[in-house]
Amino acid sequence: MAAGRTKQIFIRNLGSDNPVFVQVLGICSTLAVTNVLKNTVVMCLGLVFVTSLSNLSVSLLRKWIPSRIRMMVEVLIIASYVIIVDIVIKAYLPDISRQLGPYVGLIITNCIIMGRAEAFALSNPPMASLADGAAAGLGYSYVLFAIAFCRELLGSGTIWGVRVLGDWWVNWSIMVMAPGAFFMLAIFIWAVKRFVVTGEEAKKK
Amino acid sequence: MSRKSKTRERLFTVFFMFAVTAGFISAVSALNLATADIVARNAGLFMQRAVLEAAGLDPTGSAPQVNARYGAAVKKETSPDGDTFFRVVDPGSGEESRVFVRRGAGLWGSITAVVGMQRNHEILAGVTFVEHNETPGLGARIDEAWFKKQFRGKRPPLRRVPEGTASASVSEFDAITGATVTSRAVEQILNRTAAETRHKAGP
């Protein structure tokens, strides 16, 4: 696979075709796990792992998967990887597993993974699919990091559990609840569309 | 397409699904079996820490340290009416307390508290929470150290006072602002536990 192609895949997923702020997929977990940075990082690592490997597996099997049951196969593959992530977190990061609760299992329903499997892995070679999965995962992750950073700072006055704002700071309780994530995400999407990804919109006009 | 090739295609579809399922399920099952011990050990350690904390002992440290401390101080017992509890003897002062696991309704789900009562069943030795689904940042703040620590030495029945009051009274505790339902649940769990266990008080 050409290096240029990989680069293109990454640029597309991180920017102009970002799963969160352009396609607005995977919002459920964006709301649920971004109140504390630490949980977000674990969740994102899990998601990158699952998107990469499920894309790779679907791509490896793509020539044999009968088209009428392709979604069943995709869900099976995705669910297997998610359960693997869940088991590993439970065994080696028990505290974080307790905090994330059901959200790790809910990666299965994250639309980004199924979306990449359907839209990319089914019709592309394995290495390109792996790169695409990883890139989509990273594109999701950095948006979540940005949101989690703001939410933890404003909502708890801490970064990575360390207090950075002094006693004078009054925590914005709304930031650690789901509505806080809606506000942050909306602001993020607005800022990106207004100031960063303006090229395409302008070209269309 | 002839009938024969259609049948073959269908058979292949079924076979393929079986094969893929078998492959992935075996991998997941193998990993699950391989980590089952670690997961069980984690759960055990978590409970040991909770019991030590509720008895007012130090719950921190590595797994072997906690194991040793737990082994030296705690005995699991069953009361005549079939209730399981932990009898904890403080190795320093020789004081005895009893630790009970109690459940109550929180805002989003049930809250499981581990409650330590001092020997006379009048005074709380400590409280910690092992399971809850309260709102992160609001109700989930029951996990914060200041909230759990304030119960040590309090005498139920307890009454809630606003957060930050830092009440010195032995029958009041600081509730959590924005988490009235959760605070009320904690109040109820503690008062119920104290009332239930008091009349069980014995040597």
Tell me which chain B residue has its CA closest to the CA of residue A70: B17
Residue A98 tokens, joined: 């307790």
pLDDT digits (tens, 9 = 90+) for B149-188: 999 889 888 989 988 876 678 889 999 988 999 999 999 9
Chain A residue whose CA is closest to B33: A87
Per-domain boundaries in chain B:
51-198
Residue A8 pLDDT > 70: yes
Locate the chain A residue with the closest alpha carbon to B45: A94
Record: contact A92-B38, CB cut-off 8 A: yes
Q: Which residues of A touch B136 (CB under 8 A)?
A: 35-36, 176-177
A170–chain B Cβ distance below 8 A for any pair: no
Contact across the interface for A83 and B9, Cβ inside 8 Å: no
User: Is B42–A90 a contact, with Cβ atoms under 8 angstroms apart?
Assistant: yes
Distance CA B73, CA B107 (A): 34
Q: What is the model's pLDDT at position B200? A: 63
pLDDT of A177: 77
Place of tokens 């102009």: A16
Q: How far, in Å, CA of B125 to CA of B136, rounded?
A: 26
Residue among A84, A88, A177 whose CB faces B135 most closely: A177
* A161 vs B contacts (CB less than 8 Å): none
Rounded mean pLDDT of B46-72? 90
Residue B105 to residue B113: CA distance in whole angstroms: 11
Chain A nearest-CA residue for B39: A91
Concatenate the DSSP letters of all residues of A135-172 into one string: HHHHHHHHHHHHHHHHHHHHHHSEETTEE-S-TTPPP-
Q: What Å distances lie between residue A45 and A41, A142, A190, A191, CA to CA?
A: 6, 11, 26, 25
Element (H, E) at A28: helix A27-32
Å between B182 CA and nearest CA of chain A = 15
Which residues 48-67 in chain A show a CB within 8 A of chain B? 61, 64-66
Question: CA quadruple A59, A9, A35, A195: dihedral positive or negative?
Answer: negative
CA distances from A121 to A57, A70, A130, B1, B12 (A): 8, 11, 8, 28, 22
The whole-angstrom distance between B8's CA and the closest CA on chain A is 12
CA distance B179 to B184: 9
B82-97 pLDDT, tens digit per residue, is: 788 899 988 888 888 9
| H/E stretch holding B103 | strand B96-105
CB contacts, 8 Å: A156 with chain B: 137
Mean pLDDT of chain A: 85
pLDDT bracket for residue A2 (50, 70, 90): low
Buried/exposed code over A155-170 (b: 16+ C-beta within 10 A; e: otherwise): bbbbbeeeeeeeeeee
pTM, two decimals, is 0.80
B:29-88 residues touching chain A, CB 8 A cutoff: 31-32, 35, 38-39, 42-43, 46
Per-residue pLDDT, A198: 62
- What gap in Å lies between CA B63 and CA B87, rounded to an integer? 21
Q: Which residue has the higher pLDDT, B54 or A1?
A: B54
B-chain residue closest to A33, CA distance: B136
Top residue of A76, A103, A163 to mutate, by most chain B CBs within 10 Å, is A76
Sign of the torsion formed by the C-alpha atoms of A71, A74, A80 and A81: negative
Answer whether B122 touches A (CB < 8 Å): no
- Summarize pLDDT for A63-105 with one digit per residue, the tens: 999 988 999 999 999 999 999 999 999 999 888 888 787 788 8
Residue B188 pLDDT: 94
Q: Which pLDDT score, from 0 to 100, does residue B1 have?
A: 55
Considering only CB atoms, which chain A residues are within 8 Å of B46? 94, 98
To probe the interface with A, which of B1, B14, B17 has the most A CB atoms within 10 Å? Answer: B17
Which pLDDT does position A205 carry in this prediction? 45
Q: How far apart are CA A186 and CA A179, in angstroms?
A: 11
Q: CA-based angle A20:A78:A90, to the nearest 5?
A: 95
Note the pLDDT tens digit of each residue in A117-144. 999 999 999 999 999 999 999 998 988 8
The shortest C-alpha distance from A53 to chain B (Å) reads 13
pLDDT at A131: 93
Q: Give CA–CA dist B68/A130, Å, rounded.
A: 47
pLDDT of residue A192: 84
If you search the block for the tokens 């593959």, which residue do you land on?
A77
Q: How far is CA B105 from the centre of its chain?
A: 14
C-alpha torsion sign, points B139, B143, B146, B148? positive
Residue B203 has pLDDT above 50, yes or no: no
Give the pLDDT confidence of A38-55 residue by residue, as tens digits.
888 988 999 999 999 999
* pLDDT value of position A17: 78
Query: What is the share, in percent, of chain A residues with pLDDT greater than 90?
Result: 35
Question: What band does B44 get if pLDDT is binned at 50, 70 and 90?
Answer: very high
